Structure 1
C-alpha cells in the first residue's frame, strides 16, 4: 500500500538525513518549490536530471456542456504547472 508524503514529511526526512535544523530545511524546501513554480510560470522548463521536468501547460479555451442541463458553457483558457517524470534507467 502506498503512502502519501507531504511537503513537511519531505523536509523532516531531509533534515534528519543531513543533520540540519528542521526550520531551516523547511524554508529551503519551500524556496525550492516556489522557485520551480515561478520558473515554470515564466515559461521556462525546469529539468532535474534523473527526476523529471516541470513546465507550464496551457489548456485552450473551449466549449463544454453542463452535465445537468446539457447547455453549452464557455471554459476560459487555463494554465497549470505540469510534471513529467524522467524515464527510469534500465
Structure 2
C-alpha cells in the first residue's frame, strides 16, 4: 500500500468537510484578530518602557497569536481523530 494514499484521502476528506464546518476557522481567527487589533493598539505605548524586549509590540504579541491559533486546531484534530477511530474510518483505509 502506498503511504501517500491514506494521507491524500484524509486531506481530500478534510477539504470536502471544511465548508460544512466553518467553525473550525471561526474559533481560531477572531481571537487572534481581536488580540492584534484591540490589545495591539491599546498597549502599543508599552514598548517605550525601559527594558522592553522589542521596538515593535506586534512582534511581542506574535508568539501568543501563534499559540492561540494552534491550540484550537490541535483540539479539533484530536476530536476528529477520536471520531475517526469510533467510526472505524482509519481501519477502512
TM-score range relative to shorter protein:
0.3 to 0.5
Structure showing the higher strand proportion among its residues: 1
| Higher RCO (Cα < 8 Å, 6 or more apart) | 2
Q: TM-score, normalised by structure 2?
A: 0.32
Q: TM-score, normalised by structure 1?
A: 0.32
Structure showing the higher helix proportion among its residues: 2
